[in-house]
Amino acid sequence: MLELREKIVEKLKRENNLSYDPSEILVGCGAKQSISTALMALTDKNDEVIIPSPYWVSYKAMAEIAGAKPVVANTDEKNNFKLTIDDLKKVLTKNSKILILNSPSNPTGIVYSEDELKEIAQFVVKNKLLVISDEIYEKLIYDGKKHISIASLGKDIFERTIVINGFSKSCAMTGWRVGYSAAPKKFTDVFKKIQANTTTHTSSISQYASLAAFDLPQEYFIKNAKTFEERRDFIASWLDKRTELSYIKPEGAFYFFINISKVFGKKIKDTVISNDNIFYSKLLENNLVAVVPGSAFGNGNFIRISYSYSLDSLEKALNRIGDFLDACK
């Protein structure tokens, strides 16, 4: 719908300092489809897609489905898992084509600063890469930090970036399936050809709902972020008391990436907890709390928990995790 694309253009200008024409916006069935379409359009068989680890679970699969080669760029826990130029240099080859960047990040919740993004942008431009910048969590950001879109850092990087966003996280509209890409016309024109032959578009009903979401007052987003920040602080103070756990303090999104490696080697009943998968399955079986094993995000020393629940539910879940940890001997 042109009206929706026009609203998105206004939003990108107002909030992200990005200038697009409505023809450069493509609305799809969630950010997921938008990323997937971009990867299909922009990669050929031997092209490599650089994915910083820990990564959101779907990026690797999406690159593979597109027929490209996902290449994981390991990042350092001591650097809060933030991607550095050294990390990038280690994986750069003549086939490197795309870097996927996700700030705020799922699973770590880290947020890249303007200076960090500038360095990455310079590297991307110098090495003629493209960036898929997944900004789906931009509204959930804490401690007064500000989301910066890498595409806003200059003409050269703008021309090499595909900005991804949507309504799933900012407006809690996950089930409506609306996401979008914003990219120079030469890219968007190809994305359109792919989408026209796959889903055509997300339902008109969902597009009207997204149009209505633009009427939400600014206070809605501020209140929402505040609620999540309270939950983050609540979980952080609980985690601080558990000496067997360490974590990356999230600055955005709604996840904690928790290092459980100190628990490895302990026993729960008769089972030795030797990895994240056993930790997760025994926690679920014994204490009925679902977490995600970190290996799904590329690091098996961790689990990821989500705090998109009420404080009451979170308190219950943390108490149960505490009971589980106390029972590990």
Residue ranges in contact with ligand PLP by CB under 6 A: 30-32, 56, 102, 106, 134, 136, 166, 168, 174, 179
Locate 4 and state its tokens: 């929706």
Q: Which is nearer to ligand PLP, 160 or 304 (CB)?
A: 304
Of 108, 51, 37, residue with least CA distance to 77: 108
Shortest Cβ 323–ligand PLP spacing (Å): 28
Give the H or E element holding residue 306. Answer: strand 302-306
Backbone angles phi, psi at 52, to 5 degrees: -65, 135
Shortest Cβ 288–ligand PLP spacing (Å): 23
Shortest Cβ 263–ligand PLP spacing (Å): 26
Query: Is 120 in contact with 88 (CB distance < 8 Å)?
Result: yes
Shortest Cβ 48–ligand PLP spacing (Å): 20
| Residue burial 274-311, b: 16+ Cβ < 10 Å; e: rest | ebbebbbebbeeebebebbbbbbbbbbbbbbbbbeeee
Q: Which is nearer to ligand PLP, 16 or 102 (CB)?
A: 102
Shortest Cβ 327–ligand PLP spacing (Å): 31
Q: Which is nearer to ligand PLP, 56 or 112 (CB)?
A: 56
Distance CA 64, CA 29 (A): 20
Q: Which is nearer to ligand PLP, 31 or 117 (CB)?
A: 31
Give the H or E element holding residue 276. Answer: helix 276-287
Q: Which is nearer to ligand PLP, 35 or 321 (CB)?
A: 35
Output DSSP code: residue 309: S
Distance CA 228, CA 306 (A): 11
Q: Which is nearer to ligand PLP, 18 or 35 (CB)?
A: 35
